[in-house]
């Protein structure tokens, strides 16, 4: 009951006081302009190419059109291993390593090994660091196998030849890209001498490192998060924060006789859900704001089981308060419809339905962006909105990046 009531409350906030939600994002970091997005569109396309589902042809052909020569492509679908490609732009001395994200059941098995486990790496991956870190178990093991495979190529060819190495990926591929960057810096100390030697661009990464290690990735990792994408929040801490808030909601339901403890309260609850966003709220805006803040603060950051999105985080968000009314602003929240929508996304045969060509029109979205860290408040709770799965798709990342850059250029 508290789960469904929370979805209804979010719809009521969106209809009546959207700035309550927007302020959490705004306060979670510093505002950025279009310069912070320089090159992100190309990096996303290179990350997306790792799926090898491009409308214009096979990965080798598309890379060639972008000026890259592919020298390696591994299409593995074995659980615990990461598909990837390596491509070179010889005139600019740039090497791209693209890591494939989740596109099938085998990849989901790697995602599911999400325990926080302490591992020791060869050497510290940053100056003054240690060799122990806590990491997403499945990501560490699969990335270690990838590092073992690519280590000779990087150490004996790319580094001696003076190539700038860029690693990029989306979803599982983003997590693998970050961990590959960490392992390469650990194994090849010369990569730590300059931030230009190795860079990682990660789109929609799940939380994979402890807070200290995540912060240490800032010099070489840029992680991009789109709106209420649930994957960068898929860890114990955001789930716990959300459950603490729902416990407050549950208390309110009991006080109002809506807790579904008997037939009468069950019918009253169902009637309340039927009111949608137009009905009376079970909590005041002040109670909601206070409960969210208290839930975040009480969860803390340093627990060894909590993992975070690493590096410098560019968090894009679609403001609920836009200054203009759209057709959907006054409609009621369909709680069951929202849940059915999530289930239909999970039941889809295609986990990565983005067969698109470069430059595809993206529509008119209002997007704002901040620079923050993986421990910022906006990433420490699960936003139970209707697009929390849709926002994870590369098509939505592409649209948000293009819209932000376009609007910034106009202004």
Confidence of residue 341 (pLDDT cuts 50, 70, 90): low
The pLDDT of residue 323: 53
Residue tagged 């993986």 (tokens): 374
Mean pLDDT of 179-188: 97
Q: 368-372 and 30-31 as β-strands: parallel, antiparallel, unpaired? A: antiparallel
Check pLDDT > 50 for residue 328.
no
- DSSP letter string, 53-73: --TTS-HHHHHHHTT-EEEEE
Check pLDDT > 60 for residue 327.
no
Residue tagged 């042809």 (tokens): 57
pLDDT above 70: percentage of residues in the chain? 86
Confirm if 401 and 40 have CB atoms less than 8 A apart. yes
CA distance 397 to 399: 5
Check pLDDT > 70 for residue 214.
yes
Give the pLDDT confidence of 63-97 residue by residue, as tens digits: 999 999 999 999 988 888 999 999 999 999 999 99
Confirm if 121 and 183 have CB atoms less than 8 A apart. yes
Check pLDDT > 60 for residue 331.
no
Which of 111-115, 197-201, 245-249, 325-329 has the least mean pLDDT? 325-329
Check pLDDT > 50 for residue 356.
no
Share the mean pLDDT of the chain. 87
Give the pLDDT confidence of 33-42 residue by residue, as tens digits: 999 999 999 9
Q: How many CB atoms lie within 10 A of CB 383?
A: 21
> Greater confidence, 57 or 351?
57
Check pLDDT > 60 for residue 269.
yes
The pLDDT of residue 369: 96
The pLDDT of residue 344: 58
CA distance 209 to 176: 12
The pLDDT of residue 80: 85
CA distance 339 to 362: 26
**Residue 99 region by backbone torsions, left for phi larger than 0, else alpha for psi between -120 and 50, else beta:** beta
Give the pLDDT confidence of 132-165 residue by residue, as tens digits: 999 998 899 999 999 999 999 999 999 999 999 9
The pLDDT of residue 115: 75
Confirm if 362 and 394 have CB atoms less than 8 A apart. no
Tokens representing 55? 């409308």
State the Cα angle at 364 between 359 and 369, rounded to 5°. Answer: 90
State the Cα angle at 15 between 10 and 19, rounded to 5°. Answer: 75
Minimal CA–CA distance to 206: which of 169, 172, 242, 240? 172
pLDDT above 90: percentage of residues in the chain? 72
Mean pLDDT of 308-318: 96
């Amino acid at each position: 009951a508290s789960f469904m009531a929370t979805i209804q409350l979010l719809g009521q906030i969106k209809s009546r006081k959207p700035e309550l939600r927007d302020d959490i994002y705004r306060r979670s970091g510093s505002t950025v302009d279009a310069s912070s997005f320089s090159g992100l569109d190309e990096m996303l396309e290179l990350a997306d190419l790792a799926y090898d589902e491009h409308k214009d042809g096979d990965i080798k052909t598309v890379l060639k059109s972008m000026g890259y020569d592919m020298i390696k492509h591994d299409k593995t679908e074995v659980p615990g291993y990461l598909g990837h490609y390596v491509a070179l732009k010889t005139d600019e001395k740039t090497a791209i390593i693209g890591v494939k994200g989740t596109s099938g059941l085998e990849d989901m098995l790697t995602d599911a090994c999400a325990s926080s486990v302490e591992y020791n790496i060869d050497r510290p991956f940053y100056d003054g660091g240690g060799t122990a870190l806590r990491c997403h178990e499945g990501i560490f093991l699969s990335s270690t196998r990838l590092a073992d495979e690519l280590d000779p190529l990087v150490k004996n060819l790319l580094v001696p030849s003076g190539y700038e190495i860029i690693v990029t990926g989306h979803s599982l591929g983003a997590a693998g890209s970050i961990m590959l960057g960490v392992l390469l810096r650990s194994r090849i100390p010369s990569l730590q001498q300059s931030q230009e030697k190795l860079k990682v661009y990660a789109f929609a990464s799940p939380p994979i490192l402890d807070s200290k290690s995540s912060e240490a990735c800032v010099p070489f990792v840029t992680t991009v998060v789109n709106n209420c994408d649930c994957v960068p929040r898929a860890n114990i801490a955001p789930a716990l924060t959300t459950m603490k808030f729902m416990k407050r909601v549950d208390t309110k339901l009991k006080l109002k006789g809506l807790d579904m403890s008997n037939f009468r309260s069950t019918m009253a609850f169902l009637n309340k859900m039927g009111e949608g966003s137009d009905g009376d709220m079970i909590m005041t805006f002040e109670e909601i704001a206070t409960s969210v803040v208290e839930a975040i603060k009480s969860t803390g950051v340093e627990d060894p089981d909590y993992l975070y999105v690493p590096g410098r985080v560019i968090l894009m968000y679609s403001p609920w308060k836009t200054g203009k009314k759209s057709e959907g602003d006054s409609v009621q929240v369909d709680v069951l419809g929202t849940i059915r929508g999530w289930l239909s996304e999970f039941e889809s045969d295609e986990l990565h339905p983005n067969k698109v060509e470069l430059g595809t029109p993206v529509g008119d979205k209002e997007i704002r962006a901040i620079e923050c860290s993986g421990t910022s408040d906006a990433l420490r709770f699960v936003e139970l909105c209707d697009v929390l799965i849709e926002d994870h798709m590369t098509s939505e990342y592409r649209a948000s990046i293009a819209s932000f850059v376009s609007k910034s250029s106009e202004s």
